[in-house]
Amino acid sequence: MHSNRRTFVLGAVAAGVVAPWVARAAEPEYRLKFGNIVSADHPLNTAMAKAGERIKKESDGRVTIELFPKNQLGSDADMLSQLRSGALELFAQTGVLMSTLVPVASISGVGFAYPSYDKVWESLDGPLGKHVRKAFSDANLVCLDKSWNHGFRQVTSSSKPILTPDDLNGFKIRVPPSPLWTAMFKAFGAAPVSIPWAETYSAMQTRIADGLEQPLIGLLVDKMYEVQKHCSLTNHMWDGFWILSNKRVWEGIPANLREIIERNINEEAIRQRAEVEQMNATLQSELQKRGLEFHKVDNAAFRDKLVAAGFYVEWKKRYGEEAWALLEGTTGKLG
C-alpha cells in the first residue's frame, strides 16, 4: 500500500546543474480499498465517497479511498479474509455478520432490543459500543468509533402477508449467515435459510426461500420488490455497519493521516445516519408504487413470542453478564 518515496535529484547533464527539488508525484501514497456488500447507490457508499473527497483534499492527495461496492472484491467471507491478511484496507460489515470472528459484535442485532434510532446511537456511541470495539481490537482489527446506519429490518414475503408470529410457522425465510438471525427466526417457528446477500435475489426467484428481511433501503436499491409481494413492518432488529481496518495496516499509516481519515469517516457517519433514517421513513410510498404491499403488525406480540421461547435468556448466556448489562443499560430489561 505504501511506497517509500525518496526525493530524486535529477542531474541536468547538458547544463551541468542539478534540479533543486522535484515535487511529490500526484500518485497517492496510500490507496485504501473500501469493500462492502451493498449497492453503489446505497448511502453507505455515496457517503463514504464524500468522506473520501475530503480526505484526499485534507491529505494533499496523499490518501485516497477507492470504493468496491456490491461484492466486487468477493463475498463477506472473502473480504473478511482479505481484511485480516491486510490485502483490504477498509471493510464495512454489520456486527451480526462479524460475529463469526468477534461473537459479541452481534449484540446490537438482538431482536426487538432497540425501540428507536436514538436508543441505538446512545448504545453504540456509549459503553456498549466501546465494549464491542475493544473486542474487535483483541482480534487485531481497528474499529472506527461511529457505526453507520442501514436501518430497522422488516419481513417480506412472496407468498402471504406475515401478520402474526404464528404466520412464521414453517415459513422459509432468507437470513444472512449468522447464528443470531437463525436462532431468532427458529424461535418464531420459521425455517431460516442462510444465503449471502449477493445470492438473495436469485434465491427468491427460484423459491429457495419464500421471504426475506431487510431495511426498506435494502429492498429498494437491490430491487427486492421485484421478487417479493408483501412487507410487514416488524422493525424486528436494527442493522448497521462498523468500519474496520487491519491493525497492522492502520498503524502503518502516519498518525497525522490516520487522524484525517478517522475524523472524516466518523463525521460522515453521523450525517449518513440521519440520511438513512429519513429514507427508511419515506420509502414506503416509493416501494408501494413498485408493487410492494405493506402491512402493520403488533410488534409486541412478536417480542412476547421471543420471551416465551427463551430467546433472550439463551443469548444473555452467550454474550455474558457484562455485555448484556451494557445492552440493557440502554434498552431496559429484555426478558
Domains of the chain: 11-331 (3.40.190.170)
Quote the strand ranges of 141-279, DSSP E.
141-143, 148-152, 154-157, 172-175, 191-194, 211-214, 230-233, 238-246
User: How many Cβ atoms sit within 10 Å of the Cβ of residue 304?
Assistant: 14
Q: Is the pLDDT confidence value at 11 over 60?
A: no
pLDDT of residue 10: 32
Section 5-23 average pLDDT: 36
How high is the pLDDT of residue 12?
34
The least confident of 13-17, 23-27, 256-260 is 13-17
pLDDT in tens, 261-276: 999 999 999 999 999 9
At 151-201, the pLDDT tens digits run 999 999 999 999 999 999 999 999 988 999 999 999 999 999 999 888 999
- pTM for this entry: 0.89
pLDDT > 70 fraction of the chain, expressed in percent and rounded = 92
Q: Report pLDDT for 335.
A: 84
**Looking at the predicted structure, is the pLDDT value of residue 41 above 90?**
yes
Per-residue pLDDT for 15 more than 60?
A: no
What is the per-residue pLDDT for 198? Answer: 87
pLDDT confidence bin for 24, thresholds 50/70/90:
very low
Pair 146, 249: CB distance under 8 Å:
no
**What's the chain's average pLDDT?**
92
User: Which residues partner with 156 through β-bridges?
Assistant: 212, 231
Task: Say how many C-beta atoms besides its own lie within 10 A of residue 206's C-beta.
Answer: 9
Joined together, the cell numbers standing for residue 95 give: 456486527
Say how far apart CA 35 and CA 68 lie, in whole Å. 5
Choice between 10 and 330, residue whose per-residue pLDDT is larger? 330
